[in-house]
Chain A
Amino acid sequence: MSDVLTALIKIFVALGWFLVLTLYLTWVERKESAVLQDRIGANRASIFGLRLFGLFQPFADAIKMIFKEDFVPAFADKVLHTLAPFVSFFFVAVTIAAMPFGDDIVVGGKTVGLQVFDPSVGLLYVLAMLSLGIYGIILSGWASRNRFALLGSARGAAQLISYEVALGLSLIGLIMVFPSLRMSDIVRFQGGTILGFLPRWGVFLQPLGFALFFVAALAETKRVPFDLPEGESEIIGFFAEYGGLKWGLFMMTDFMEIIVVSALLATLFFGGWQVPWLAADGFHWPWGGHWALARWLVVVLQVLAFQAKVVFFCWLQILIRWTYPRLRYDQLMDLGWKVLIPLGLLNILATGLVMSL
């Protein structure tokens, strides 16, 4: 009974964290883009005159979308048209289950992992769910029976399948170094240091793998500079025939993918919840010296470290989205097949050579 209750609480907290962060990422996107373009950004939404830098804007947006008409075009396939945004949303929402938020904690004599579930194939599970998200895009374009929507979903399918290969290849080197697919194990392997001072993070062991994964993951989020499926200035994209809350679900999926990619980057390459030089009993400074900390404080620091890393990568992705122009379609395919995949194979070869020495 208590196991079920623990699992339910974990699901509730993880999903709540995910959705609230998604909601506020829309605010961060608007504000960050405004700040780096010397603007102010959305700051008018208020409750009784209280503006708070537009922090209520996400709620205003949500209310607006909820009250819009739930419109299905007469020529569209009703069932699939309705199903598509939910498919898209579902497969991103479930990936958060495998993200380790912190080290195991002991509550009432029982060990509880700060992770909804921790299968031995956690990494494959996340990648599989991210790939299944393509079905939402294909379905939406196909069920809309609109040429531009279909064009967008065809582009989306081609792009995601191409970059799926590069994404998988970029992670093989990492799996060779940390011989596990279990997310919590991957994070645990990243504790400690190399050469006595450098945290043993994936980015220091697999710098090329990190760069390749980052580019491929950016392409997976389908945002500028890889927003060919949407391409709002040329074709409206796979959600051309959507409006109101269903369109909102597609947008939310986009933002949730940013968070998932950030969480993956943090977990795989930046030590997840590991804080540099922080072990279970406190800090062990590289210059010698020990700073003991209470166990609960260590756990809180680690959870906060994971949050900080996720937020940083969300910030970085939004910065990239507002800096670079969109790639042309052939450039996109060239980058995927002629640059990322050969470099991924090279990375595997180099990792193998170094490990066999």
Chain B
Amino acid sequence: MVKAWGYLWALVKGAAVTTRHFIVNMWFHTLRLVGFKRLRAGAVTFQYPEVRKPLAARHRSLHRLVARPDGRPRCVACLLCVTVCPSECIFVEAEEDPDPDVQKTAGRFEIDLARCSFCGFCVEACPEDAIRMDTGTIELAARSRADLLFDRDRLLRRN
């Protein structure tokens, strides 16, 4: 008998919780509807395409190649990123740089996003700070596998 009353009490408490949420949220929804935007919102939702959730500073999004002032990539084709990449999704082909102090740069630099796991090891490994994952682009869906193959020019375009 005591147990049954405990269950009933639990039912009442549960209903009280949801009712409280309903009333409080409706109150703030209504206030915002009539123009009190500064008060808290009635829901925790970010209405995604219009309102974007701020990304954390350390968030790893789409890669970019950092450029020198003349527009050529900082990459010196040391292949450390290729070596460290666990997904083996980076392909680099060296070419001679016209600047004698640099000597070597990336002629081809391709990242296959279909294989990339966004671990960020390439960013950690790079001695020249030539590759970063700070573009903030997180919508990476594509209609074909070829569209997911980012070459040097596409990676440089994000500067």
In the bound complex, residues from chain A placing their C-beta under 8 Å from that of B42 are 35, 38
In the bound complex, residues from chain B placing their C-beta under 8 Å from that of A323 are 14-15, 17-18
The digit string for A35-46, where 1 denotes a CB below 8 A from any CB of B, is 111111000000
Residue tally, chain B, CB below 8 Å to A: 16
The digit string for A1-40, where 1 denotes a CB below 8 A from any CB of B, is 0000000000000000000000000000000101111111
Q: Which of A322-344 contact B (CB under 8 A)?
A: 322-324
**A124 on the B face (CB < 8 A):** no
Q: Is the interface of B mostly helix, strand, loop or mixed?
A: helix
Looking at B20-28, B60-68, B103-111, B147-155, the stretch in contact with chain A turns out to be B20-28
**B56 on the A face (CB < 8 A):** no
Report the Cα distance A311→B125, complex, angstroms.
63
Contact A35 B25 (CB under 8 A): yes
**B11 on the A face (CB < 8 A):** yes
How many residue pairs, one in A and one in B, have C-beta atoms under 8 Å apart?
A: 39
Q: Which of B3-23 contact A (CB under 8 A)?
A: 11, 14-15, 17-19, 21-22
**A319 on the B face (CB < 8 A):** yes
Q: How far is the CB of A46 from chain B (nearest CB, A)?
A: 13
Contact B43 A319 (CB under 8 A): no
Contact A36 B18 (CB under 8 A): yes
Q: A319-B15, A323-B14, A324-B14 are in contact. Are A35 and B45 (CB under 8 A)?
A: no
In the bound complex, residues from chain A placing their C-beta under 8 Å from that of B14 are 323-324
In the bound complex, residues from chain B placing their C-beta under 8 Å from that of A38 are 21, 25, 42-45
Contact B21 A320 (CB under 8 A): no
Residue of A nearest to B17 (CB): A323
Report the Cα distance A36→B22, complex, angstroms.
4
Residue tally, chain A, CB below 8 Å to B: 13
Report the Cα distance A38→B17, complex, angstroms.
12
Contact B43 A39 (CB under 8 A): yes
**B72 on the A face (CB < 8 A):** no
Report the Cα distance A250→B128, complex, angstroms.
64
In the bound complex, residues from chain B placing their C-beta under 8 Å from that of A34 are 43
Contact B22 A32 (CB under 8 A): yes
Set A35, A40, A320: member contacting B22, Cβ < 8 A = A35
In the bound complex, residues from chain B placing their C-beta under 8 Å from that of A324 are 11, 14
Most A CB contacts (10 A, CB to CB) among B15, B18, B47 go to B18
Set B11, B18, B26, B47: member contacting A319, Cβ < 8 A = B18
Q: How far is the CB of A301 from chain B (nearest CB, A)?
A: 25
Q: How far is the CB of B29 from chain A (nearest CB, A)?
A: 7
In the bound complex, residues from chain B placing their C-beta under 8 Å from that of A35 are 21-22, 25-26, 29, 42-43
In the bound complex, residues from chain B placing their C-beta under 8 Å from that of A37 are 21
Report the Cα distance A251→B18, complex, angstroms.
24
Contact A39 B26 (CB under 8 A): no
Residue of B nearest to A324 (CB): B14
Report the Cα distance A322→B15, complex, angstroms.
9
Most B CB contacts (10 A, CB to CB) among A35, A319, A320, A324 go to A35
Report the Cα distance A37→B43, complex, angstroms.
8
Contact A320 B47 (CB under 8 A): no
Q: How far is the CB of B63 from chain A (nearest CB, A)?
A: 32
Contact B45 A40 (CB under 8 A): yes
In the bound complex, residues from chain A placing their C-beta under 8 Å from that of B43 are 34-35, 38-40
Q: A35-B29, A35-B42, A38-B44 are in contact. Are A319 and B21 (CB under 8 A)?
A: no
In the bound complex, residues from chain A placing their C-beta under 8 Å from that of B44 are 38-39
Q: How far is the CB of A129 from chain B (nearest CB, A)?
A: 30
Contact A319 B19 (CB under 8 A): yes
Report the Cα distance A38→B47, complex, angstroms.
13
In the bound complex, residues from chain B placing their C-beta under 8 Å from that of A40 are 43, 45, 47
The digit string for B26-70, where 1 denotes a CB below 8 A from any CB of A, is 100100000000000011110100000000000000000000000
The 9 lowest CB-CB distance pairs between A and B, nearest first, are A36-B22, A40-B45, A323-B18, A36-B21, A36-B18, A40-B43, A35-B25, A38-B44, A323-B14
Give the interface of B toward A (CB within 8 A).
Answer: 11, 14-15, 17-19, 21-22, 25-26, 29, 42-45, 47
5 new A-B contacts, CB < 8 A, other than A32-B22, A38-B25, are A36-B25, A39-B44, A40-B47, A319-B22, A323-B17
A-B contact pairs, 15 of them (CB 8 A): A32-B22, A34-B43, A35-B42, A36-B18, A36-B21, A36-B22, A36-B25, A37-B21, A38-B25, A38-B42, A39-B44, A40-B43, A319-B18, A319-B22, A323-B14
